[in-house]
Structure 1
Amino acid sequence: MQNVLVIGFNTRNIVCSANRAGYTVCSIDAFRDFDLQECAHASSLLECKTVKELHQLDPSRIKDQMDAFGLEFDALVPGSGLEMLDHRSFSCPVLASPPDALQKASNKIYLSKRLAALGIPHPQCYSPEELDTVEYPVMVKPATGGGGIFNRVARSKQELLSILEEFSRLDPELTEKTVVIQDFLEGIPSSVSLLSTKNEALSLAVNEQLIGIPWLSRLPFAYCGNITPFKTGHAAEMEAIAEELALEFKLLGSNGVDFLVTEKGPVVIEINPRFQGSLDTVEKAMNINLFEAHSGCFRGKLPEKPGAKCFAARGILYSDRELFIDRKLMDFILKEKGADIPLHGAVVEPEGPLTSLFSCTPTREEAILSLENGAKRIKTFIEKLNKKDDGTPESC
C-alpha cells in the first residue's frame, strides 16, 4: 500500500500522520489548511458545510475528485463527518470499521441500551418519544459531529423545548430525531484512544479532554483539545472498558471512547468509531505513528503498548469574531509552530476554530501554561491588528 486518500470534514491530523509514515497521501477536506497542503501530495475541497450535505454526499462526486488526482489509490480512509461512507462504492479498500458496526456504535440510543446490558455506567439517553419521562438536568447535543459547539444543558422541559427551537433556527436538520438528549453529569471529560483488529483490542492512551476552556473558546462545551496522558486512578478500568466495547461493536483500526470521570468512577459518554482529535497528542506523548498502527490493524497486527514520554497538549483556539487571515496574521500563527494553520485569504467565522497550539513538557501544568501563553500571544497580535485597521492608537 502506497497511495492513500483521506476524506473528511477536517483531515489535517490524519494526512500528516500518513505523510510521516511515508505514504503518498491525498486529501478531500473542508478547510485545506496550509499545513495540510504541506503534508499532502495533493488536496481538493470538500464542498459540504452542513451535516445534511455530508450525509447526502454522492459517492460519484468523490470518485470524480479521486480521478482528478491522477493516482491509483490503494486505500481510502474516512475521517470526521464521512464515517458512514458506503464502502461498496469504491474499488479500493476502505480502512474503517464495517458500516453496520459504525451505525450501531454511532447510534446513541442503541449504545445506551447495549451499555446497560453490559453493566457499564453511562448517562441515560432519551428518545423523541420519551420527552415526558426526562429527568432534568439533561445535555442536548447533535447526534453526530459539532465539536461541542451546539451542546446545551436543559434544566426543565421549558428549557429543553427552547433549545430544540434554537437548534431548528441554527440548522433545520437539528430536530428531535437528530439530537441526543442524555442525563447531564458532572466530572472530568476524558477519552481512551485504542486500536483493534477482528480479534484483539489495545488501549494506547487515556487522554484528558479540554472542554470549554475560557482562554481558548467562549463556548462552554466547545472541544478545545487534549492532554495525553491523563493521570487518573481509573485509567486501567477505562482502558479495559474501551477494549471491551471495541470488540463488542466489532470496530477496526483507530477508535476512541469518550468518558466522564465522576465521583463514582468513569462513565461512558460515547464511542467515536474513527480517528479522533487526540491523534496529535497521542502520537507526541506515546512516540507512535497512529496512521501506520491503524493500517496494521487491517492486517491483523497490533503494536506493542507504548509508554508516555511527556505530557503532550493540544489547544484549539477559537476566534471571537469574523477574522480575515492576512499575510501578517498567517505568518504570526506559523511562528507558534502549531497546526491547522489557516491559509492567507481565508475567513474564520465567529466561534470558529482558528488554529491549534501544541506543547510537550515534563508536567501537565507546564503543558497548560505553554498553551495559555501561545493563545495569549495570538490574541494580543489580533487586537493590535484590529487597532491598526480601525485607526485606534495602540496603547503602550
Structure 2
Amino acid sequence: MQNILIIGFDTRNIVCSAKRAGYTVCSIDAFRDHDLRKCTYASALLECRDPRELRKLDPARILERMEGFGLDFDAVVPGSGLEYLDCRNFPCPVLASSPQAVREASDKRRLAKRLETLGIPHPACYSPEETDAIEFPVMLKPAAGGGGIFNRVARNREEFQAVLEEFSLLDPTGETDIMVQEFLEGTPSSVSLLATEKEALSLAVNEQLIGTPWLSRMPFAYCGNVTPFRTEHAGEMEKLAEELMLEFGLLGSNGVDFLLTEKGPVVLEINPRFQGSLDTVERATDLNLFEAHVNCFRGEIPEKPSVKRFAARGVLYSDRELFIDRTLMDVILGEESADIPCSGSVAGPDEPLTSLFACAPTGEEALHSLKEGAERIKDFIDREMEKQGEYLSPAGKT
C-alpha cells in the first residue's frame, strides 16, 4: 500500500501524518492550505463549505477528481464531513468504519438512546417539540456534526424560542435536525482511540479548548486540545470509550467527547473518524496515528504509547474578513503553526485562520506559549488595520 487519497472538509492533519509515515498522498478538501500542498503529491479543492452540502455530495465528483490525479490509489481515507460518503463504487478499499456504524455513532439523538440502554452517564435529551418536558438550561445543537459553532444555550422558554428562530434563519429549508440537550457545567475533554474488530485501545485523554476567548469569539467553537489531560477520572474515561468502540463496531482512529463534571465523566458524543486532537496526540506520544489507523484494518493494534510531553494546539479564528497577503502569511509562518492559509486566499469572519502549536513540560506552559503566538498574530492584524483603514478582500483581488 503506497498511494492514498484523503478526502474531507479539512484534511491537513491526516495528510501530513500520512506523509510522515511515507505514503504518497493526494487530498480533496475545502481549504488546500499551504502546508497541506507541501505534503501532497497533488490536491484538489472541494468546492463545498456547508456541512449539509457535504452530506449530499455525489461520489461521482470524487471519482472524477481521483482520475485527474493520475495515480492508481491503494486506499481512500475519509475525514470530517465526508464520513457518510457512499464509497461502494470506489475502485479501492476505504479505510473507515462501515457507513451504518458511522451513522449510528454520529447521530447524537441515537447515541443518547443507546447510552441510556447501556447505563452510561450522558446529558438528558429532548425533542424541540417537547417544550413542556424541557428542564432549563438546555443546549441546542445540530443532531449531526457542527464543530460547536452552531451550539446555543437557552436558559428559559423565551431564549429557547429565540434560538429556534435563529436556526430557522440559518437553514430556511428546515433540513437540519435540531437536538435539545441538558446543559451541564464541566471541563470539555476527549479520549482518542484505535479499534479493530476485536479490541480497542485508548491512546490519550485530551483537554478540549472550547470557546477560548483569545482564540475565538464563538462561545462553543472547537479551539484545539491539550494532551494529556491529567485527571483522576482518566482510567474511567478510557474504559468507557473502549466499550463504546466495540459496542458500535467502529474501526481505526476514533474519538469520544466527554464533559468532566463534579459527578464524574459524562459522554457527549462519538467522533467516528480522525479527530482534531490528532496533532497533539502525535506530538505528545511520538506515535504516527495514520500508520496506526492503517494497521487497524489489518487487525493490528500497537502497544499503548507513553506520554513524553504536553502538547497543545490552538485554532485561531478570524474576527473579520481577512485578505491573506504574503506579509500576513509570513507572520503566521513565523510561528509554530499549521493550517497555513495561502497568499491570495480569504478568511471570513469567525472562520479558522490558522492553528498554533506548543510543547512544554506542563500544560500551563504550553497554553501560555499558544496565547503569546495568538496575540502576536492578532496584534499584527490590528496594526495593519490602523495603517490601511481596512484589511479586507479588495474587489477583484481574490
Measured against aligned partners, the alpha-carbon deviations of 1:97-134 in whole angstroms (never above 9, x if no partner) come to 01111111012121111111111100012234434321
Is the 8 Å Cα contact of residues 108 and 125 (structure 1) preserved in structure 2? no
Structure 1 CA distance for aligned equivalents of residues 292 and 173 of structure 2: 36
Other-structure match for 1:102: 102
Structure 1 CA distance for aligned equivalents of residues 247 and 114 of structure 2: 9
1:327 aligns with 2:326: yes
Q: Which amino acid aligns with 1:301?
A: E
Measured against aligned partners, the alpha-carbon deviations of 1:368-387 in whole angstroms (never above 9, x if no partner) come to 10000000100111111112
Cα deviation for residue 324 of structure 1 reads 0.5
Structure 1 CA distance for aligned equivalents of residues 211 and 109 of structure 2: 25
Other-structure match for 1:213: 212
Cα deviation for residue 147 of structure 1 reads 1.8
Moved more, 136-145 or 245-254: 136-145
Cα deviation for residue 173 of structure 1 reads 5.0
1:158 aligns with 2:174: no
SS of corresponding position for 2:130: helix
SS of corresponding position for 2:92: coil
Cα deviation for residue 144 of structure 1 reads 2.6
Measured against aligned partners, the alpha-carbon deviations of 1:336-386 in whole angstroms (never above 9, x if no partner) come to 021000010111111111000000100111101000000010011111111
Other-structure match for 2:231: 232
SS of corresponding position for 2:121: coil
Structure 1 CA distance for aligned equivalents of residues 79 and 178 of structure 2: 21
Is the 8 Å Cα contact of residues 280 and 311 (structure 2) preserved in structure 1? yes
Q: Which amino acid aligns with 2:51?
A: V
Q: Which amino acid aligns with 2:107?
A: N
Gaps of 5+ in 2: 391-398
Is the 8 Å Cα contact of residues 107 and 144 (structure 2) preserved in structure 1? no
1:370 aligns with 2:344: no
> What are the equivalent positions in structure 2 for 1:115-154 lying under 5 Å apart?
115-154=115-154
Other-structure match for 2:180: 181
Structure 2 CA distance for aligned equivalents of residues 43 and 56 of structure 1: 21
Structure 1 CA distance for aligned equivalents of residues 336 and 144 of structure 2: 31
Cα deviation for residue 158 of structure 1 reads 2.3
TM-score by length of 1: 0.97
Other-structure match for 2:23: 23
Structure 1 CA distance for aligned equivalents of residues 95 and 102 of structure 2: 12
Structure 1 CA distance for aligned equivalents of residues 120 and 300 of structure 2: 28
Other-structure match for 1:63: 63
Q: Which amino acid aligns with 2:245?
A: A
Percent identity reads 69
Number of residue-to-residue matches in the alignment: 391
> What are the equivalent positions in structure 2 for 1:328-367 lying under 5 Å apart?
328-367=327-366
Structure 2 CA distance for aligned equivalents of residues 311 and 324 of structure 1: 33
Q: Which amino acid aligns with 2:15?
A: V
SS of corresponding position for 1:130: coil
Structure 2 CA distance for aligned equivalents of residues 11 and 182 of structure 1: 29
Structure 2 CA distance for aligned equivalents of residues 289 and 174 of structure 1: 41
Q: Which amino acid aligns with 1:379?
A: K
Structure 2 CA distance for aligned equivalents of residues 90 and 68 of structure 1: 14
Measured against aligned partners, the alpha-carbon deviations of 1:205-249 in whole angstroms (never above 9, x if no partner) come to 000000111111111111100000000000000000000000000
Q: Which amino acid aligns with 2:183?
A: F
Cα deviation for residue 78 of structure 1 reads 0.5
Is the 8 Å Cα contact of residues 109 and 143 (structure 2) preserved in structure 1? no
Structure 1 CA distance for aligned equivalents of residues 171 and 340 of structure 2: 27
Other-structure match for 1:394: none
